[in-house]
Each structure stands twice: as structure tokens, then as C-alpha cells.
Amino acid sequence: MARAGQRQAVTKSRHASAMQLGTVVQLLSAFACVLAAIALPLYFPQDARLLRWGMSSAAGFFLLLAVVSRIFQRRLAEFSERWNLDNRVLVPREGFVFLGIMLFLAVAALSGGSATTGNSLLLIFGLMAGSFVVNGWVVLMMKRQLEGSRTLPSTASAGVPFSVWVTVSNRRRKLASRLLQAEDEVEFAGVVVRPVVTFLCVAPGASRTAAYRLQIPVRGRVVFRQLQISTQFPLGIGRSVLSVAAERELLVTPRPGRLLPAWQQLVALRGEDDARMRESPFGRAEEEFVGLRDYRNGDRLRQIHWLSTARSGSLKVRDFRPHQKTSVAVILDLFCPEDVAEELLEQAISLAATVCSEVNDDNCGGEHCLIIGGMSIVPVQSSAAIDFRQRCGRALAECEVSRDSSMSQLLHVVGRVQGNRRHRWLLLTTRPQAWQRGTEAAAGTADDAAGLRGLSLQVLTISAANLHAWFQPLPSSQELLAGDTP
């Protein structure tokens, strides 16, 4: 049986408060040497100086060894994992309480009391020490021949929960592993979260899979670092940890949303205006010639094919059928002036991502286009809707806003994009006046003027009021992590 745990966002590992058993033993050895340096000279006064010096030196050596082990704990752990010598047992807080009681019993048994009381305390101390040793051996056995892995989704969206599946396999033949906790390490935007998945029992030769739900609030790259599998079974006073090197990255696309009726109406009205402006002598520019047919009432006289009419003796007209619907190309200008908050441009990125995600092969007369102008200018083109949506998601996930982006360079890229001339370009920008001035200046350049001539361009200003009227982002859950049982 497996259960997925819930964990809040933290920046330190939950193993940080634990200490290696070797370090604890070294500290206890130093403490024992200090007690011996005090007690032995009382029983052997003739060698008091030698015993005091020897026990003090031993106490200093064990104390120095414990300090060095604590300072270089990470490097020693990496070395032992590399050479498959990782037999570490960590002592959690519960273990320190257990050791404190043991130490109290040992001091009480040696410091005084009757022989009967002293022997009883020593017996209890021995039973506790034996339990501590047996627990350390059991947790080490639970860790051996364990394997762990994680499975990530292909893509994820900001603010949308997704599942990460963790699999633990027990390769032993006889001993089951119980109360295993798989702790993942996820880093994004300078924040580290450590979700935990708990496996109650993994039988010998079996594999168990569980999932945890993760929600990333921002777009960008998410790094899944080391996966740690630990257990404190059976007494909880010692923990063994298995580290699995499984670092992977996941690209989180912008937060999706819903296009409001005002946006649909705005785009539809502009589309009708473009269609009326592009009429040819025989048909509209978005129509194509498919053949000849007989004249019907209502046909325009300019569509009559007089040569075919003379040959056949009856009126023949040219037949035109509409092309596929005019496709929408988006230009996203991520220029961020000082008086504009970056959150506003993040909403504009989500709007562009939503527009591109609704593109399909039924509403395109050619290649889909997206041009992003930020820290770098990234053009995205594809004739297949699925490939276009994927490439746009990756480009929008990694784009960055800029306070000094060049308008002339963006105009140059737009003019040279070899897209379909039937594209209806939608420009999202915070500087519509600068765009108009840049277009007029680019008209003096022959190459840019040829590329910009004939484009159907609709300038949309990025502002809080416009984005609120056009676009509604999906609400995100209040919880960053949530449990999920497969």
C-alpha cells in the first residue's frame, strides 16, 4: 500500500536536523574519555598524570574527528555513494532523546547507589543500547538493493496541478522494506520544495508506485534534483537514506486562460473588415478559382467567361471557392517601460499562449506565426498546429521581458518572416506610437518596406483595462502541494 504525503514549501531538507550515527558515536566516545579522565585517577593515583593526559588526548581526538566529520559531511557522503560504501545511519531528534536517556542511565549506574540498583540500571542501559544497535542494522538492511525513479509529464502549465509518479523497487528476495519515505527536491524561481511520498510496505521482488501533486505558480524551467528514499523502521531512532541521482528538467508553459467575448468580437470585426478590403475583380482575395459552371441568377457579370460562353453557346461563369479561414499571426512586444509592471506583461504572455493554443489546422491558410520581441527576438513558424502549439509553449515559457528592446530589429524580423500573406497580424505592445513611428521609418528601407507592405496589422495596446476585458486567467489553487493516491 502506498500513500502520497503533503509537504509545504521549505528551503532546507528535513534531514538537516539529523546527525550521522558515526558522529554521535564519536561524541559519545569523547564524553566517555572525559569521564575516564576524571574517574580513573581516583582508582589509580600512582598513574593519575598519565591516565589524565591519555584520556584527555583521546577525548580531544574523538571531538576533533566528530567536528571534521560534521563539516565535511556532504563530501564524505558523495565519496561513499560513489564507491558504494554508504552505510550511514542518521540519528533524528527521536534518536537523540533515546540517547539522552541512555546516557542518563549510564551516569546514574556508575555514579552511586547500591549494587542492586546499579546493576538494574546497567541492565536497562544494555537493553536500550542493544535496541539502538539492532535498529541501526535493520534500517541499513531496509535500504539495501532498493531502486527509485520518478516519471514526469511531458509538459506542464503554470498554476495547473500535475502529477509526478515515484516508483520504488525492492530487489531483495526475503526482506520487505517498510515505512519508506521518498523525498523529492524541486527547485524553481529560487524556491525549493520537498514533496514526500510514503510507501507503507514494498514486498520482496516487488515495485510500488505513488504520486504527489505539484503546482508551479510561475512559468520557466523547473529542476527536479536528487530523490532520497529513507526509512526509520522499526523504532524510529535511526534513519538510513538512499540517494538516487535522477536530475531532470521540466518546462512550465505560461498560465492558460479563457478568451472573453470582447476579444472574440474584436478579432471577428477586424476579420470582416480585412475581407471587404481585399476584393479582386473576379472574387475576393481569400477565394480561389476552381472551374467553370453555368450562369445562375445573381452572379456578377464580371465573372462571366466569354470565351467558354462563345464555344458552348450558353453563359459560363468562373466558380470561386473560399480558401481556408484567414490564420492569425501574433507579434508579442515585451518592452517593459518603468511605469509598467512586469505582472502586466506576464498576463500578456498568458494571453498570447492562450491564442496560440487554440490554433488548429481548420483555421489556417498557411503557416502559423508567432514573433516574440524581448531580451531576444524569437520567431516561431510551423504549418502543423500541434507542432506550432508545442513550439510556442516552449518559446513563451523561456522568453524574458526587456527595458531596452529595439523596435527596428523587431520590425526587421517581422518584415523578413516568410509567412502566409493572408495572415492577420495581431500586435500586442505597450508602445503603439513607437511601433507606428518605426513602421514609417522602415518604409525607407527597401527590404523592410517590401516585407511590411500588404500586411494586415491590428495594434492592440497592453494595458490593465484591455487585458481584463480580453482575457481571464485560470485561477490557481491555494495549496502548493496536495496528496494524490494512485
Work out the end-to-end distance of the chain between its first and last CA atoms, rounded to an integer number of angstroms. Answer: 10
Cell numbers describing residue 252: 512550465
- pLDDT for 35-71, tens place per residue? 788 877 877 888 888 888 988 898 898 888 888 877 8
CATH T-level topology, domain 328-473: Rossmann fold (3.40.50)
List pLDDT tens digits, range 342-400.
899 999 999 999 998 887 765 555 678 899 998 899 999 888 888 888 999 999 999 99
The DSSP H or E segment spanning 79 is helix 73-82
Full strand arrangement of the beta sheet holding 368-373:
377-382, 368-373, 328-333, 424-429, 456-461
Interatomic CA distance for residues 439 and 118, integer angstroms = 96
> Which stretch of 16-30, 46-60, 116-130 has the lowest confidence by average pLDDT?
16-30
Q: What is the pTM of this model?
A: 0.71
* Edge-to-edge strand list for the sheet holding 481-484: 146-151, 162-170, 207-214, 481-484
The packing angle between helices 48-71 and 21-43, to 10°, is: 170
Cell of 88: 550511514
Grid coordinates of 484 = 494524490
CB 142 within 8 Å of CB 178: yes
- Bridge partners, 208 (sequence order): 168
Q: Pull the grid cell for residue 239.
A: 534513519
The closest of 290, 319, 291 to 303, measured between CA atoms, is 319
Helix (H) or strand (E) holding 326: none
Q: What is the CA radius of gyration of the chain?
A: 36
Residue 276 predicted with pLDDT over 60: no
Domain with CATH 3.40.50.410 in the chain: 328-473
Q: CB–CB of 426/330 below 8 Å?
A: yes
Nearest to 7 by CA among 167, 164, 239: 164
**Higher per-residue confidence, 438 vs 344:** 344
pLDDT(176) > 80: yes
According to DSSP, the residues that pair with 402 across neighbouring strands are 335
Task: Provide the pLDDT for residue 5.
Answer: 40
Is 278 a residue whose pLDDT tops 80? no
The three cell numbers locating residue 320: 470561386
Q: In the chain, list all ranges with CATH 2.60.40.10.
A: 2-11+145-255
Dihedral sign from CA coordinates of 55, 57, 62, 66: positive
Asked if the model's pLDDT at residue 205 lies above 60, the reply is yes
Residue 163: strand pairing partners: 213
The domain 2-11+145-255 having CATH identifier 2.60.40.10: the answer here is yes
- Cβ atoms of 424 and 329 within 8 Å: the answer is yes
Q: How many CB atoms neighbour CB 228 within 10 A?
A: 20
- Eight-state DSSP code of residue 236: S
Confidence band, pLDDT 50/70/90 cuts, at residue 433 = confident
Cα-based distances in Å from 380 to 13, 221, 334, 371, 425:
41, 19, 15, 6, 14
Determine the average pLDDT of the residues in 185-202.
93
Query: What is the average pLDDT value for the chain, to the nearest integer?
Result: 79
